[in-house]
Amino acid sequence: MKLTGKLALCLASACLLTSTAAWSQAPAPKNGKTYRIAYIARAQGDSFAAWLADAVVKESKKYPDTQVTVFDGQSKNELIASHIENAVTSKYDLILLQPFDSEAQVAPVRDAVKAGVKVVTVNNRVNDPSIPAVDADPIQQAEVNAKLAVKQVPQNARVVVLMGPAGNMHSDKRREGWKKYFFDQRKDVKIVGEQIANWNKDEGMRLMEDWQQANARIDAIVSMNDNMAAGALEAVKGSGKPFPFAYGVDGTAEACLKIKSGEMTSTSLQSAYALAELSVKMSHDLLTGQKVATPQFITAELITKDNVDKFIQMHKELGNLK
């Protein structure tokens, strides 16, 4: 069983997409009006971001009057700001943004709105409640994992924590959830390493290699997303040591396979297709002058070895796995 389609390409080659390539092939409507949406992904090399971008493209095809162009932010605030500015200059009707940094993207987004371009955020929000948003509850995403970990992680465990980018609301709030539902409940647990890995698999692997050298044992990996957890587990696999408990967020195809094989303990599903469905509809409603309720949220579901087959089948049906 293996990753396939655009998701596999993104994982294998950092998703080398041109930032000007239009993905949507939907026919133009009878009245000739086509709404142009610039979708700005935080980083196509991130497995979840790649899944979400693919989902947005597929969802947009339900709207014949909508054309989506994908831009890769490459986890760089300055590049994301440039994409936003270029979308304004190129007279896009709407920017659908997956924020990388909740604060850094505020000014570029406000400038776009002032210039008359509508903005919707998805899979994170900017620190401006006036911007329409579709998101998940990051505390709840952490909660479902943390409540399982309270029961599983052994007494006096030594734990490492992998964080997303500094200033990223999802990373910070997931960490808040872990504190409330795990660390505050398990005062016996010692954190022997906690670092930012920027949602990045390679950074997660490098940090875990260092932590393994500095510690005789590590009992659990607490990661704010699946991608960093997968990297840390690659480091464990390379060391020949037994796999610790490992928890993530997103429910990616890769994480599901690792849960199935026994390498990973659990993750919470952040459905890219649910996010895409709501955010593309919100975008289309705004473009066609309809009122929208904002923010809108999806709910996370815990994935463990007991139910992972269902989610592997989901990824097969979506074309993410063979």
List pLDDT tens digits, range 36-90: 999 999 998 888 899 899 999 999 999 999 999 999 999 999 999 999 999 999 9
Beta strands across the sheet bearing 266-269: 190-196, 158-163, 220-223, 245-250, 266-269, 301-303
Residue 298 is encoded by which pair of tokens? 């999806």
Residue 25: its pLDDT value, please?
Answer: 36
Mean pLDDT, rounded, for 113-129: 96
Is the pLDDT at 271 greater than 60? The verdict is yes
Identify the pLDDT of residue 5. Answer: 45
* Percent of the chain with pLDDT strictly greater than 90: 83
Res 29 pLDDT > 80 = no
Q: Would you say the CATH fold of 138-269 matches that of 5-135+272-297?
A: yes
Structural contact between residues 12 and 69, judged by C-beta atoms closer than 8 angstroms: no
Give the pair of three-digit tokens for residue 305: 């070895």
pLDDT, mean of residues 117-140: 96
- CATH code linked to domain 138-269: 3.40.50.2300
Q: What is the model's pLDDT at position 32?
A: 67
Fold of 5-135+272-297: Rossmann fold (3.40.50)
CA atoms within 13 A on the CB side of 29: 13
Instruction: Give the residue from 97, 19, 11, 5 showing the smallest Cα distance to 48.
Output: 11
| Percent share of the chain, pLDDT over 70 | 90
The CB-side HSE value for 34 (13 A sphere, CA atoms) comes to 16
CB 265 within 8 A of CB 304: yes
Mean local confidence (pLDDT), 136-163: 97
The mean pLDDT value for 230-250 works out to: 95
Angle at 198 between CA 194 and CA 199, to 5 degrees: 100
Beta bridge partners of 66: 35
Domain ranges of the chain: 5-135+272-297, 138-269
Q: How many residues does the chain have?
A: 322
Confidence of residue 240 (pLDDT cuts 50, 70, 90): confident
According to DSSP, residue 183 is labeled: I
Distance in angstroms (rounded) separating the CA atoms of residues 65 and 100: 28
Mean pLDDT of the chain: 90
Q: Cα–Cα distances in Å, from 101 out to 55, 97, 221, 225, 241? A: 22, 11, 24, 15, 35
pLDDT in tens, 178-196: 999 999 999 999 999 999 9
At residue 316, the pLDDT reads 93
Contact 184, 176 (CB under 8 A): no
Predicted TM-score of the model (pTM): 0.78
